[in-house]
Amino acid sequence: MAIEKRVLVPDIGDFEGVEVIEILVTPGDRIEVESSLVTLESDKASMEIPSPVAGEVQSVSVKVGDRVSEGSLLLTVSVDDGAQAEDPQAVSAVAGAEPVPTADDSPPDNTEIPQGGALVAKEVMVPDIGDFEGVEVIEILVAAGDRVDVDTSLVTLESDKASMEIPSPYAGEVKSLAVKIGDRVSEGNLLLTLEVQELASPAKSGGPPEVSAEEAESVQAPAPSPIEAPHSSSAGRHAGDKESRRPPVLTRPSDAPGRKPHASPAVRRFARELGVPLEQVTGSGPKQRITKDDIHGFVKQALREGGSAVAAGPLQLPAVPVVDYARFGEVEERPLSRIKKLSGAHLTACWLNVPHVTQFEEADITSLEAFRKAQQPAAAKQDIRLTFMPFLMKACVGALRGFPDFNSSLSADQGHLILKKYFHIGVAVDTPNGLVVPVIRDVDKKGIFDLAGELMQVSEKARGGKLLPGDMQGGCFSISSLGGIGGTAFTPIVNAPEVAILGVSKSVLKPVWDGTQFQPRLMLPLSLSYDHRVIDGAQAARFTSALAGILADIRRLLL
């Protein structure tokens, strides 16, 4: 027979009105003992509340944003008759039986114990920090003689992947430190010794306490371990997780040289949610500790400055100064279009993260241009405007086949090159609202007239603002043509995660020496920008030479 039990907030220390930031179960879920139920967050720590019983969740009494304290009702669970909670005291509360004696209950009945306690030395070890071994101590946050509370950060450790603060499991006075900056430690190594006042248990009465019917139906979840609670991460947790030990929350190490941000796990998580780089925030707390108010202040400043307070990438670029242009004369303020805002952020990221180099070349397109003009009447009969772009796209596919590194992308860890076996070409289109790059797919499988017709369609959609996100995704290589406007050369920005982009300027009739005399030839300026992490200068020169050769004689594509 199933019995309905109420799960209450356990003893969470001196915290009152702690916010519920995540609910990890829903009605109908099957949970086990120690399954995480909800995540609470105070101004100092975040903690997951584990289940004291196994069963099926009947109802959840809290929602995200609620504030709870010890004894508040979290949820109700339908427990099979005879199911046991992991905590002995929780078992007796559920069953209504006598409490199971524990180490603290060892004195015989009616034995009075004084309320005072002796000072004892407690050794603080490195807790479970996952699979890390030999982690470097980069900061010691306390000194001998300091008074610390439970969850006070003691030291900061940093591996090659992350940094973490180790909290104190006890309140007391630091007697001695066993590590120094630069030492490498692993789980179980001694960090320091604390002098802790060990309080005695209160006097025991003769018989077991009476349990009311209402109390018998209420189950208080076991309190999280002091060393686990403030650093338990809710990311990636599932309702059936039975792990009882959780390592501290890991955060990315600071990119700023010589400065390590000092903040609690809750503040670090808050900063991650807002996208705030902690290494750029000045802490107002003790020892320059960063608080939530500091994060709020940083965000407000960034909003006032239009986002310039947040440096992009690891370069930590200085913010552009704010200027009152009206002091110098009449001004007009006009908002940027949505396209320019989105493309601006993407182009900035590409420019800052990709090491750009541009290779310049000229292609003789005299014969190709004559062929294009000869085919225009046939295209017009099909209501197709035959521009130079379809020929250029086919020529680019021919060059990409010969140089597959240009038709690739770097893997996320930048340790592998992903070579693409398809040929989707992005073509930059100028619209009244800004530049967009729709992608023409499978260029290698389409004819010149097919490509010309498709270019007309996507250009019309782009100028009408009707392109869908999918129309601008999946490109392998991009082309940006300014030939219809003018210019002799330019340096296009690589459209990451692609590794190269071709810029095309206005073709010009030039005298070219053929070995015996000068001949008038129509020359097309090419500007190839590429990611120098993937492509070197020699490869780029060979690619542009091969492309110029194909454009000079398009029949080479048949070879």
Closest CA to 383 of 452, 433, 438: 452
Distance from C-alpha of 528 to C-alpha of 432, rounded to nearest angstrom? 26
Closest CA to 443 of 367, 391, 501, 371: 391
Q: At what angle do helices 537-552 and 389-402 cross, to 10 degrees?
A: 130
CB 544 within 8 A of CB 383: no
Distance from C-alpha of 461 to C-alpha of 265, rounded to nearest angstrom? 48
The pairing of beta strand 500-504 with beta strand 477-481: parallel
Cis-peptide, bond into residue 108, ω within 30° of zero = no
Amino acid 455 reads L
The tokens describing 191, both together, are 């960090």
Question: Which residues, 6 or more positions from 43, have their beta carbon under 8 angstroms from its beta carbon?
Answer: 266, 291, 292
296 is catalytic: no
Torsions phi, psi for 151 (to 5 deg)? 80, 0
Q: How far is CA 210 from the centre of its chain?
A: 53
Which whole-number Å values give the CA distances from 158 to 80, 137, 169, 250, 292, in the listed order?
A: 46, 7, 20, 9, 23
Distance from C-alpha of 129 to C-alpha of 181, rounded to nearest angstrom? 18
Catalytic residue selected from 231, 346, 416, 532: 532
Distance from C-alpha of 380 to C-alpha of 383, rounded to nearest angstrom? 5
CB 88 within 8 A of CB 100: yes
The tokens describing 464, both together, are 């009408």
Q: How far is CA 39 from the centre of its chain?
A: 20
| Catalytically active residues, by annotation | 532
